Structure 1
Amino acid sequence: MTTPSKRSLWRSLKDGIRLARPYFGSSERAMARALFIGVIALQLAMVGIDVAINHWRGAFFEALQQRNGGEFMRQMWIYCGIGVGFVLVNTFQTYVTQWLSIRWRRWMSDGLAARWLDGPVHYRLQVMGDGPDNPDQRIAEDVRSFVRLAISLTVGLIGALVSLASFVFILWELSAKAPLTSLGLSWDLPGYLVWAALAYAIVGTVITHLVGRPLIPLEVEQERREADYRYALVHVRDDGEAIALARGEAWERAGLARRFEALMRNTFALMRRQRSLSFFTMSYRHASLVFPYMIMSPLYFAGKMTLGVLMQAGSAFAHVRTALSYLITSYTTIAEAAAVIQRLTEFEAAIEQRRQARTALPIAPTAAEGLSVRGLSVGAPGHGAPIAQVDALQVRAGEQLLIVGAPGAGKTSVMRAVMGAWPLASGEAASGFLRPWVVQQQSYLPLGGSLREDLLYPMDAAEVPLASAAAALEAVGLQRLVEPLSTDAPWNEALSAGERQRLGIARALLVRPDVLWLDEAFSSLPADEGRRLYGLLRRELPAMASWPWLTRHRRG
């Protein structure tokens, strides 16, 4: 594992700005900028409240030192007024921040999902195996974390800079009220409290950076291993029936244990580094509470500084020190943000690489109603060795083609290549078909929704009359599903393998393609029923320009 350099942090900053900028220049820019300005304005108001409290501390402790009861009560009422302002500003800042966060997250998630689902990009990333792991985590969790951390760090940095400018002026004035005295001598050092805070913060920042640099790669690895473990759990849930029938629970438990062991090893490495960082940062923060009073206590005890000035100077010093120590107090958050930015940047780069790559098998449009392929070579992912080769192939309108081969002969891969989805294919192809369609061995059912929506996927269910959908179900032998056609249920779990294949045929009847690929589409049905459904397709789709391709392991 490499240790990130200062340049890696600078790169993370540039990548973070590149990720954030598009939203504020998008079609939502007016609202985005207004909300962001609102968050910043409320942060500045919080700094103003801190300045008011600082002045209040001076007057309040002066009243205590002078035992002035009337002034004490007046200051208490002033504090109540400041408190009302604090509650209002803090509450509205949280609300506006949440408003900006959810809008920004929606825009960014939609954009990433759109690029990920731009044609077969998502499938090519999966097949090639060299893309980022767990795209779902990138779009869901990393975008959420990026937006949260970007707002938090940006607002915090602006607040720190404004707070520094405000309290440096106050601390400089207080330094003039009580000149530095040491060993009985007075030293003419204008703004000595400011210089002391600056030196204290610089030393702390340098040490924090040296100790905390390894946190960034550890955070990246932690997220990857968390995602692997989570994916393994989802895999067990989705394939519960197969695991139960094979009695593979012990094997699955061992696999989960191995993944969690890897997660634990990185967690302990992360914990050790965070422990080292915490030893310093907590010591630094604890010492900072008394550091300004150690500097000013000789003046107070010598009678050259009142209690009010001492407390106000201590508070101002704390604000200056906190502003100058922003890197120290935010280092863990910065490391987390750098890890999130790195993962999102890698994800975007992988998507763009697959989008810009030429279509695996360029398919030239032609006016002729047919499909021709020459010199097709389909490669395997990873090593790219050919898994299927076709010297020449031509299918004209109305023709049928039966592809027969042993398991693993590459029959399905040929279909994927000619459909333009398989990334490792070469050759020449031309097609005049406009509505190609594939019925696979296991018809895909989208997540959630009604059976009608599942049946008509990916069409808009409103475009197809309910009666047409019902008729298609009856034609393929799914009469029992006509009544619950509009019912929302987990249909991918409720239907048997044979019912899902019948549903795939019904979907083809409604889509009405001009070329149809049948990839083991009847393998879970009796042979005579498969022949019946194939005949149904030919009768019900007379306008189809090409009859199906039938891909089977054996003749039947």
Structure 2
Amino acid sequence: MRRFLGAVLRLFGRAAFGPDRWKGFALYAIVLMLEFFGVWISVRMITWTKVFYDALEQFDVSAAIAQLWVFAGLVGLWAGTALFGQWFRDKLLLFWRERLTDAAVQSWLGKAAYWHLRPGLSPAAVDNPDQRVAEDCRNFIRLLLVVSVDVITNVVALGSYVTILWNLSDFALEFAIFGWDVSIPRYMVWLAFVYVAGSTLITHLLGKPLKGLVFRQERCEADFRHALVQIRDNATEIAQARGEEAERRHLDHRFSAIKDNWNRLIGREFILGLFVKPYYRSILRIPLFFALPAYFARAVTFGGLMQLASAFSSVATTLSWFIFNYRDLAEIAAVAQRLDDLFANAADPEPMPDVPRAIHQTHSADQGLQVRGLTLCTPEGRSLEPVPDIMIQPGDRIWLSGSSGAGKTTLLSALSGLWPYGTGSIERPSVEMIALPQTPRVFSESLAAAACYPGDPADIPETRLREVLTRVGLAHRLNGLGKSGGEAVEGLSVGERQRLAIARLLIHKPACVVLDEATSSLDLPAEQALMTLLRRELPEATILCVAHRPPDALAPYRTWAIGPQEQSERKTA
């Protein structure tokens, strides 16, 4: 319970505090005031019950008709209050959800947590972060509003209802047991609390396993959805490999996890429902049965009996909030734990245990790049071949060669400051560095956004974009420059994506460029043409090129061989 409350308070702080926090609290205050007004209407309905049923008992037609008008007015007020309350609650949900989502996105992207917390790189890898940011933020705020508003409202309402019930229960329940005379004054008040307390205990015992099952169900649903997204993103590769059956097996496996946990979840909900459903249906009738002894003892009139039953029902229903909302409480506990874990892990990504993390990273004074005594390790703790020392001056062109698996990509991650595992020292420039991978990121917002990534396309004139795309061999794609959405980049081959990535370098003109097999899908003449263009447009840029063949178009260049030298030479040959 302490962990759950701590997580809820931390998440609430992220959503509710900060700039413009007054707006959220103002909306929350309006929601509460409307809820309190609803409580007042409920109290008036309890009073109305006695007057109306007394009129029926006395066959007073005019009084009964008058009370029907009162009833209509109260129902109208209740409906209006409920509608406006829901409207303000929805506005508040969006406001706080936006703030919590912004905090989650910032936490996930900040400190490159999305990179460090991948499976295999950290023992605290975060599964399905997309679900946690997109759905858990929404569900947490929704459930938080439901729970918090209901709790505060019910506390206020309970005081009003108990006061009414206390005043109405000015009689005692008298009976004999084993020769003893027993008298319980105001028994209806005590009975309400005992009745609900016992029912709450039973509900908790039956529903306790729900939290874990809900938590696992959310994970299984997200895993299945992620598998479907992967099919969409890799449609060409799957179709060319005729991988439909393999994908189907993978999806079936994911859905089997959903089905297995779902069966356990609905089984537990069924067990809980064996008690909760009858309780829910009887909570409005049981009070009448409890009040019958007072009626038969002529302690109350028929209208008083109905009023007493209504007051008891209001108290019992308010006290039963925990029972009626147990499923929501289990869900908010699971959602809060998932979100809180995301923030905690992203704030300080946990490294793999017992793996050296002694790479000393500094910025060089002369904007060069120097590597000394560097040995990289895998996350499992296996040491790679020592990296040869090197001093790279601004404007140098370096061919980073080595066999597959020698650790070239890992080295690039270390040079960028991402890779933590290993020993040695790296002095790197503080200038802008852009790295192009073998399969570059294509931002599906628009072709212009893909070309300007990671910059804002609004900052680049369209004439400049057209000129650059034409120079890298993408003139045939210019018709899609003004389009938005996935349609703009649909059908881009890997080679076209690599041309698009080279266009980014021409647009941003960084001082340091890292090419990680960035032209591997192009034929040799196309590769040489783009490298020549790059050398001409960025004559003073430092270029570090990873390739399986010498980048002759970048000449003059130096070679930085990684891994066993003889393996590297055989690969080059």
| TM-score, normalization by structure 1 | 0.93
Residue 248 (structure 2) aligned to one of 244, 253, 257: 253
Q: In the TM superposition, what whole-angstrom CA distance separates every residue of 1:192-240 from its partner, at most 9, and x where no partner exists?
A: 1110101101111111111111111111111111111111111122212
* Distance in 1 separating the partners of 2:360 and 2:435: 19
Residue 148 (structure 1) aligned to one of 125, 139, 142: 142
Q: Quick check: 1:328 aligned with 2:326?
A: no
* Distance in 1 separating the partners of 2:501 and 2:78: 61
* Distance in 1 separating the partners of 2:357 and 2:109: 15
Residue 309 (structure 1) aligned to one of 290, 301, 304: 304
Question: What amino acid is the match of 2:317?
Answer: T
**Maintained 8 Å contact 1:362/1:420:** no
Q: Quick check: 1:243 aligned with 2:238?
A: yes
Residue 350 (structure 1) aligned to one of 345, 353, 358: 345
What is residue 31 of structure 1 aligned with on the other side?
Answer: 23
What is residue 370 of structure 1 aligned with on the other side?
Answer: 368
What is residue 272 of structure 2 aligned with on the other side?
Answer: 277
Aligned partner of residue 84 in structure 1, secondary structure: helix
What is residue 133 of structure 2 aligned with on the other side?
Answer: 139
After TM superposition, which residue ranges in structure 1, 4 or more long, deviate above 6 angstroms?
Answer: 183-187, 355-360
Question: What amino acid is the match of 1:108?
Answer: L
* Distance in 2 separating the partners of 1:262 and 1:515: 47
Q: Quick check: 1:190 aligned with 2:182?
A: no
Q: How far did residue 183 of structure 1 move?
A: 6.7
Q: Quick check: 1:105 aligned with 2:103?
A: no
Q: Rate the CA distance shift 1:310–1:61 in 2: closer, same or farther, 3 A.
A: same
* Distance in 2 separating the partners of 1:525 and 1:51: 78
What is residue 426 of structure 1 aligned with on the other side?
Answer: 423
Question: What amino acid is the match of 2:125?
Answer: G
What is residue 568 of structure 2 aligned with on the other side?
Answer: none
Residue 224 (structure 2) aligned to one of 226, 229, 236: 229
Q: In the TM superposition, what whole-angstrom CA distance separates every residue of 1:167-187 from its partner, at most 9, and x where no partner exists?
A: 1111111111x4434479997
What is residue 291 of structure 1 aligned with on the other side?
Answer: 286
Unaligned runs of 5+ in 1: 1-8
* Distance in 2 separating the partners of 1:506 and 1:24: 43
**Maintained 8 Å contact 1:378/1:389:** yes
Q: How far did residue 396 of structure 1 move?
A: 1.0
Deviates more, 1:528-537 or 1:391-400: 391-400
Question: What amino acid is the match of 1:538?
Answer: R
Deviates more, 1:270-279 or 1:486-495: 486-495
Q: How far did residue 536 of structure 1 move?
A: 1.0
Q: How far did residue 440 of structure 1 move?
A: 1.9
What is residue 40 of structure 2 aligned with on the other side?
Answer: 48
Aligned partner of residue 289 in structure 1, secondary structure: coil
* Distance in 2 separating the partners of 1:359 and 1:99: 47
Aligned partner of residue 227 in structure 1, secondary structure: helix
Deviates more, 1:354-363 or 1:366-375: 354-363
Q: Rate the CA distance shift 1:290–1:212 in 2: closer, same or farther, 3 A.
A: same
What is residue 448 of structure 2 aligned with on the other side?
Answer: 452
**Maintained 8 Å contact 1:215/1:270:** yes
* Distance in 2 separating the partners of 1:412 and 1:231: 26
Q: In the TM superposition, what whole-angstrom CA distance separates every residue of 1:479-512 from its partner, at most 9, and x where no partner exists?
A: 2233432222424432111111111111111111
Q: Quick check: 1:525 aligned with 2:519?
A: no
What is residue 17 of structure 1 aligned with on the other side?
Answer: 9
* Distance in 2 separating the partners of 1:199 and 1:261: 44
What is residue 463 of structure 2 aligned with on the other side?
Answer: 467
Question: What amino acid is the match of 2:473?
Answer: G
**Maintained 8 Å contact 1:172/1:194:** yes
Aligned partner of residue 438 in structure 2, secondary structure: coil
Pairs aligned (count): 543
**Maintained 8 Å contact 2:117/2:349:** yes
What is residue 3 of structure 1 aligned with on the other side?
Answer: none
What is residue 500 of structure 1 aligned with on the other side?
Answer: 497
Deviates more, 1:179-188 or 1:85-94: 179-188
Question: What amino acid is the match of 2:462?
Answer: L
Residue 202 (structure 2) aligned to one of 200, 207, 210: 207
**Maintained 8 Å contact 1:377/1:389:** yes
Aligned partner of residue 118 in structure 1, secondary structure: helix
Q: Rate the CA distance shift 1:550–1:214 in 2: closer, same or farther, 3 A.
A: same
**Maintained 8 Å contact 2:367/2:431:** no
**Maintained 8 Å contact 1:375/1:426:** yes
**Maintained 8 Å contact 2:362/2:428:** yes
* Distance in 2 separating the partners of 1:489 and 1:90: 39
**Maintained 8 Å contact 2:395/2:540:** no
* Distance in 1 separating the partners of 2:77 and 2:285: 29
Q: Quick check: 1:88 aligned with 2:80?
A: yes
Question: What amino acid is the match of 2:52?
Answer: F
Q: How far did residue 378 of structure 1 move?
A: 2.5
Q: Rate the CA distance shift 1:411–1:237 in 2: closer, same or farther, 3 A.
A: same
**Maintained 8 Å contact 1:371/1:429:** yes
Residue 263 (structure 1) aligned to one of 254, 258, 261: 258
Q: Quick check: 1:393 aligned with 2:390?
A: yes
Residue 509 (structure 1) aligned to one of 506, 510, 516: 506
* Distance in 2 separating the partners of 1:388 and 1:257: 42
Q: In the TM superposition, what whole-angstrom CA distance separates every residue of 1:28-80 from its partner, at most 9, and x where no partner exists?
A: 21101101111111111111111011110110100000000010011011111
**Maintained 8 Å contact 2:16/2:96:** no
* Distance in 2 separating the partners of 1:425 and 1:20: 39
Q: Rate the CA distance shift 1:183–1:299 in 2: closer, same or farther, 3 A.
A: farther
* Distance in 2 separating the partners of 1:390 and 1:228: 38
* Distance in 2 separating the partners of 1:52 and 1:433: 71
* Distance in 1 separating the partners of 2:350 and 2:457: 29
Question: What amino acid is the match of 2:447?
Answer: L
Q: Rate the CA distance shift 1:483–1:285 in 2: closer, same or farther, 3 A.
A: closer
Q: How far did residue 302 of structure 1 move?
A: 4.0
Q: Rate the CA distance shift 1:359–1:437 in 2: closer, same or farther, 3 A.
A: farther
**Maintained 8 Å contact 2:173/2:186:** no
Aligned partner of residue 381 in structure 2, secondary structure: coil
**Maintained 8 Å contact 2:54/2:303:** yes
* Distance in 2 separating the partners of 1:69 and 1:183: 42
What is residue 68 of structure 1 aligned with on the other side?
Answer: 60
Q: How far did residue 542 of structure 1 move?
A: 2.4
Q: In the TM superposition, what whole-angstrom CA distance separates every residue of 1:276-306 from its partner, at most 9, and x where no partner exists?
A: 1111112323343332222221332343321
**Maintained 8 Å contact 1:361/1:420:** no
Q: How far did residue 468 of structure 1 move?
A: 2.0
Aligned partner of residue 494 in structure 1, secondary structure: coil
**Maintained 8 Å contact 2:189/2:312:** yes
* Distance in 1 separating the partners of 2:174 and 2:66: 34
Question: What amino acid is the match of 1:431?
Answer: R
